[in-house]
Amino acid sequence: MSTMLLEVKNLKTEFKLKRGTVRAVDDISFSVDKGEILAIVGESGSGKSVTSLSIMGLLQNPGKIAGGDILFDSQNLTRMNKKELQDIRGNKISMIFQEPMTSLNPVQRIKDQIMESLIIHKKINKKEALARTIELLDMVGIPSAAQRADDYPHQMSGGMRQRVMIAMALSCEPQLLIADEPTTALDVTIQAQILDLLYHMREKFNMAVLLITHDLGVVSEAADRVIVMYCGKIVEEADVKTLFKNPLHPYTVGLLNSIPQIDDDSDERLYMIKGMVPNPLNMPPGCSFSDRCDRSMERCTRETPELLEIDGHKVRCFLYEEAQEEAEEGGLAAQ
């Protein structure tokens, strides 16, 4: 029996700029169950990182949540004050940021940065915190953990720093880990090790993971379910096997077609989605993907499609309205 840990309802996040308002996250809803790995994928600017910062309450000015609710373990994070959020952040919800070098303090030793979180949230003394820190560094695969704990961030490689970030994020055994592009800029071997580590930690702590990435290879390796975002909206949602086997939205189809295949020995050029992501200050009417879509119809340039559900598979596209009606009729007939 799965139990819901995080529920995002109709989240809208905006950035008020001099030239207008950008709605970076446009009325999205989704949930994450305990122990589940949910991936959010999309190109740069699709709204996936802003979604994670909204959940963490870490939006920088001029960004703000303009509507919706974020329920974590039945508590509404959008209604909390700074102090209440700080008690949850780093304790029950942790985040691994994209670039460990900018997230780690360059003038503090690794051990002090991890110990600080343990002393604040777990109310333990320095000696216990140091022992736990070395244990965590060892657990995330840092060799000679006791010695390396004395290092400064610049003395470590990118892969090592990423492991330190994971050790720090896991220090308080969070219920939810948000991993924003945790394997970007790492070589493939280290990437596989980091994903393996996240998987192992999920099993060990029954921890839910919200994995933010643009890399579908990472999604196929690690996730249980996947959400595809485009221009601040969810355009498709399904379990991983279904999405890779039967992608419905033309954007998802384009993303999957543009992955190089090892067994493809033809000398055809790699597929590329035509055009560019629209300017968020000047969004076209109708479906925001319509001018890049191979299957665009006239109504796509006027009307915005709803998110439809067909046998548990969600898609925002007019092509599937009939399929949804048939599925609903079939469901009524079966009752």
What domain range includes position 287?
4-92+172-261+269-334
Is 119 within the bounds of a domain?
A: yes
User: Could you tell me the maximum CA-CA distance found in the chain, to the nearest angstrom?
Assistant: 68
Residue 332 confidence (pLDDT) above 60: no
Residues in the chain, total: 335
Is 298 within the bounds of a domain?
A: yes
Of the pLDDT bands very low, low, confident and very high (cuts 50, 70, 90), residue 263 is low
Residue 44 confidence (pLDDT) above 90: no
| pLDDT mean over 42-51 | 92
Whether 42 and 189 map to the same domain: the answer is: yes
Is 277 within the bounds of a domain?
A: yes
172 and 94 Cβ atoms separated by less than 8 Å: yes
What is the rounded CA–CA span in Å between residue 250 and residue 244?
Answer: 13
Whole-number percent of the chain with pLDDT over 90: 61
**Judging by DSSP bridges, how do beta strands 176-180 and 93-96 pair with one another?**
parallel
What is the rounded CA–CA span in Å between residue 182 and residue 191?
Answer: 8
What is the rounded CA–CA span in Å between residue 217 and residue 197?
Answer: 16
Whether 154 and 303 map to the same domain: the answer is: no
Express each pLDDT in 277-319 by its tens digit: 999 888 889 999 999 999 999 999 999 999 999 989 999 999 9
Whether 65 and 191 map to the same domain: the answer is: yes
| pLDDT mean over 41-49 | 91
177 and 94 Cβ atoms separated by less than 8 Å: yes
Whether 297 and 286 map to the same domain: the answer is: yes
Is 237 within the bounds of a domain?
A: yes
Express each pLDDT in 129-158 by its tens digit: 999 999 999 988 899 999 999 999 999 988
Question: Which residues on adjacent β-strands are paired with residue 129?
Answer: none
| pLDDT mean over 189-215 | 87
CATH number of the domain to which 293 belongs: 3.40.50.300
Look at residue 326 in the predicted model and tell me its pLDDT: 74
Is 310 within the bounds of a domain?
A: yes
| pLDDT mean over 255-277 | 78
Whether 12 and 108 map to the same domain: the answer is: no
Query: 171, 187, 216: which is the final residue of a domain?
Result: 171
| pLDDT mean over 96-123 | 87
Is 97 within the bounds of a domain?
A: no
Of the pLDDT bands very low, low, confident and very high (cuts 50, 70, 90), residue 32 is very high
Residue 222 confidence (pLDDT) above 80: yes
Look at residue 240 in the predicted model and tell me its pLDDT: 96
Is 208 within the bounds of a domain?
A: yes
Look at residue 66 in the predicted model and tell me its pLDDT: 96
Residue 2 confidence (pLDDT) above 80: no
Whether 248 and 328 map to the same domain: the answer is: yes
Look at residue 285 in the predicted model and tell me its pLDDT: 92
Whether 233 and 301 map to the same domain: the answer is: yes
What is the rounded CA–CA span in Å between residue 303 and residue 283?
Answer: 13
Domains of the chain: total? 2
Look at residue 267 in the predicted model and tell me its pLDDT: 66
Residue 269 confidence (pLDDT) above 60: yes
Is 253 within the bounds of a domain?
A: yes
Cα 153 to its chain centre, rounded Å, is 25
Whether 246 and 257 map to the same domain: the answer is: yes
Whether 73 and 211 map to the same domain: the answer is: yes
Query: 115, 136, 171: which is the final residue of a domain?
Result: 171
**Judging by DSSP bridges, how do beta strands 225-230 and 63-72 pair with one another?**
unpaired
Q: What is the mean pLDDT of the chain?
A: 90
- Where do the H-state alpha helices sit in 248-320? 250-257
Query: 143, 171, 199: which is the final residue of a domain?
Result: 171
Whether 178 and 161 map to the same domain: the answer is: no
Whether 167 and 183 map to the same domain: the answer is: no
Whether 130 and 202 map to the same domain: the answer is: no
Residue 184 confidence (pLDDT) above 60: yes
What is the rounded CA–CA span in Å between residue 29 and residue 247?
Answer: 20
